[in-house]
């Protein structure tokens, strides 16, 4: 009879070189061959999450290895969940440290930054390959600016010059700028493309002044095919730096060299930037980067999960996408925390656990209150003052569930109306503290008992209905509470 533990150790050793180190340790920990019966191998895994991931990504590799290494014929493999495998006293699993080579552990490769030589002494190492234009998730609000970047990458200096992109913090401006620069390099590897922040440009100007080599500084950019400056607003009130940039801009523009600029505001609203520069920024294409809509945010999260080779519950992704409504960086940050929690604590993220992550994330952003306490804060909270009465709550709930306000207030008893109506009553009581009788007046004169029943029903269901928790949480965030 085959020693299943020894066979599984051989299989793991055979699979390890084919799988990334951290992925191997994550998904193959606490796994074991439970039995082999008539050519059918039963593989045990500790969680449903591991079952789904291994089934989708590694099943064929495992079967191939079994057919090569098993002394008995293997025709099929089935994967089942056996939670006891994760117990410390369960001896069926294989010690993966015996499988992973100690002297040559595979490490996740960090993508090298693109080095772009400007001259013999100056090399830009600012490009990061993860910012490819093809990796930018395009939504309906950012389609135009993304198309402009593609056009510039295809024909630099010929169309949309300069390309000026503006928008708030964490909305993807740097991604678009670097992605365009990388695409120009892919199309022409001999092109001289320089990306730098306005802060770095300022430091170079100061350094040139200190060393009395302003001529060399200007010459450095004379042969550049594409100059990309991020966060141009940082040059506000820096007169000497703006003067140098003005001359560089003119020289490159007159030579049909591409210029790409980003800012937090459109050109005309850049306080402290010279009027002559503002007018030049408007000579080409000016495009705004918007915060993506819900569908695009969800697509971003799904794409990041694919990049990290993880599967998260769709309800978890939905909660993050609905709740984070100010910054893509915050969106990805919450997701990264959930992934880290899964990998480091061997814990499957749930709606409740991610809700706590979101609370902590917003708490870190909280400014000190006048009384010395820290209050929960998020950009969404700016709308808190708009929740003045029950009508405001009714409007928010109607928008969220995409139904008419009159239907919420009315007597219709369809489930798709009744549940939002009960949620609405619950939120009015929780947020505004109105009496049950007063709340009932907003809903076709319903009595005290009906409102109390609705409140208690929602409160009770939240203990077991993750989707309801998600909806309540998202609605409170939208209301800033």
Residue 314 lies in a domain: yes
Report whether 182 contacts 127 (CB < 8 A). yes
Residue 107 lies in a domain: no
CATH number at residue 26: 3.30.300.180
Q: Is residue 370 part of a domain?
A: no
Per-residue pLDDT tens for 360-416?
Answer: 655 544 443 333 333 322 333 333 445 778 888 998 899 888 888 899 988 888 888
Name the β-bridge partners of 117.
Answer: 123
At 341 the pLDDT is 76
Domain boundary among 59, 75, 98: 98
Give me 124's structure tokens.
């830009």
User: Is residue 130 located within the same domain as residue 262?
Assistant: yes
DSSP code for 447: -
pLDDT at 323: 79
Tokens found for residue 44: 């045990």
And the tokens for 138? 């395009």
Question: Based on the domain organization, do 355 and 392 belong to the same domain?
Answer: no
Q: Mean of the per-residue pLDDT values for the chain?
A: 81
Q: Are residues 141 and 253 in the same domain?
A: yes
Query: Could you give the C-alpha distances from 117 to 104, 114, 143, 244, in angstroms and in order?
Result: 34, 10, 32, 21
Q: What are phi and psi of 38, to 5 degrees?
A: 60, 40
Section 312-330 average pLDDT = 81
- Highest averaged pLDDT of the listed ranges 59-73, 78-92, 303-317, 342-356: 59-73
Is the same domain home to 148 and 53? no
CATH code assigned at 459 = 1.10.1750.10
Query: Are 94 and 63 in the same domain?
Result: yes
474 domain residue, yes or no: yes
Instruction: Give a yes or no: residue 357 inside a domain.
Output: yes
397 and 432 Cβ atoms separated by less than 8 Å: no
Residues 258 and 147 in one domain: yes
Residue 424 binned pLDDT confidence (cut-offs 50, 70, 90): very high
Q: How many residues does the chain have?
A: 481
Q: Please report the pLDDT score of residue 386 as a whole number.
A: 56
Range of the domain at 125: 113-288
- Predicted pLDDT of residue 192: 85
Query: Among the three residues 288, 311, 329, which one is the final residue of a domain in this structure?
Result: 288
Contact indicator for 311, 288 with CB cutoff of 8 Å: no
Whether residues 39 and 148 fall in one domain: no
Higher pLDDT, 112 or 321: 321
pLDDT value of residue 371: 35
Both 124 and 273 in one domain: the answer is yes
**CATH number for 184:** 3.40.50.300
| Domain assignment present for 103 | no
Asked whether residue 314 carries a pLDDT value surpassing 90, the answer given is: no
DSSP secondary structure string, 30-65?
A: T-EEEEEETTEEEEEESSHHHHHHHHHHTHHHHHHH
75 and 17 in one domain? Answer: yes
* 387 & 360 share domain: no
Four-residue CA torsion sign, 67, 73, 77, 80: negative
pTM for the model stands at: 0.54
Please give the pLDDT value at position 180: 92
Q: Looking at residue 1, what is its pLDDT?
A: 52
Whether the predicted pLDDT of 265 surpasses 70: yes
Are the CB atoms for 247 and 218 separated by under 8 Å?
yes
| Residue 207 sits in the same domain as residue 281 | yes
* Domain membership flag for residue 374: no
Last-in-domain residue among 98, 130, 163: 98
pLDDT tens figures, 60-89 = 999 999 988 888 888 899 999 888 887 777
> Is residue 138, in this structure, part of any structural domain at all?
yes
- Please indicate, yes or no, whether residues 281 and 416 belong to a single structural domain of this protein: no
Number of domains in the chain: 4
Q: Which residue has the higher pLDDT, 1 or 60?
A: 60
């Amino acid at each position: 009879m085959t020693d299943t533990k020894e066979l599984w150790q051989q299989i793991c050793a055979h699979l390890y070189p084919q799988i990334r180190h951290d992925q191997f340790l994550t998904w193959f920990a606490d796994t074991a061959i439970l039995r082999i019966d008539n050519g059918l191998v039963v593989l045990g895994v500790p969680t449903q999450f591991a079952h789904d991931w291994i089934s989708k990504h590694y099943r064929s590799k495992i079967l191939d290895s079994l057919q090569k290494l098993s002394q008995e014929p293997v025709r099929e493999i089935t994967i089942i969940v056996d939670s006891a495998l994760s117990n410390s006293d369960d001896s069926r699993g294989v010690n993966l440290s015996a499988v992973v080579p100690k002297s040559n552990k595979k490490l996740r490769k960090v993508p090298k930054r693109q080095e772009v030589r400007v001259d013999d002494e100056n090399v830009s190492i600012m490009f990061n390959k993860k910012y490819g234009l093809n990796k930018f998730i395009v939504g309906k609000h950012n389609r135009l600016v993304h198309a402009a970047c593609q056009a510039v990458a295809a024909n630099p200096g010929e169309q949309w010059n300069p390309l000026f992109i503006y928008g708030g913090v964490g909305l993807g401006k740097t991604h678009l700028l670097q992605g365009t620069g990388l695409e120009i390099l892919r199309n022409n590897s001999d092109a001289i493309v320089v990306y730098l922040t306005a802060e770095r440009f300022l430091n170079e100007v100061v350094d040139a002044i200190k060393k009395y080599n302003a001529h060399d500084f200007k010459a450095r950019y004379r042969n550049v095919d594409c100059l990309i400056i991020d966060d141009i607003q940082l040059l506000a009130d820096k007169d000497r730096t703006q003067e140098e940039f003005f001359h560089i801009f003119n020289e490159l523009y007159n030579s049909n060299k591409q210029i790409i600029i980003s800012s937090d505001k459109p050109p005309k609203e850049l306080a402290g930037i010279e009027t002559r520069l503002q007018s030049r920024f408007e000579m080409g294409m000016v495009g705004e980067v918007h915060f993506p809509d819900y569908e695009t945010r969800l697509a971003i999260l799904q794409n990041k999960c694919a990049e990290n080779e993880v599967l998260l519950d769709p309800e978890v992704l939905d909660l993050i996408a609905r709740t984070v409504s100010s910054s893509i960086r915050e969106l990805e940050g919450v997701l990264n925390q959930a992934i880290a929690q899964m990998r480091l604590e061997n814990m499957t993220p749930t709606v409740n656990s991610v809700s706590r992550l979101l609370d902590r994330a917003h708490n870190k952003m909280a400014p000190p209150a006048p009384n010395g306490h820290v209050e929960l804060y998020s950009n969404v909270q700016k709308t808190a003052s708009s929740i003045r009465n029950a009508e405001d709550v009714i409007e928010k709930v109607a928008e969220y569930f995409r139904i008419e306000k009159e239907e919420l207030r009315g007597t219709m008893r369809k489930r798709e109306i009744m549940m939002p109506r009960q949620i609405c009553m619950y939120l009015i009581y929780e947020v505004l503290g109105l009496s049950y009788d007063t709340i009932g007046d907003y809903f076709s004169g319903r009595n005290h008992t009906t409102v109390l029943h609705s409140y208690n029903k929602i409160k009770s269901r939240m203990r077991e209905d993750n989707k309801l928790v998600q909806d309540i949480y998202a609605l409170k965030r939208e209301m800033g509470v």
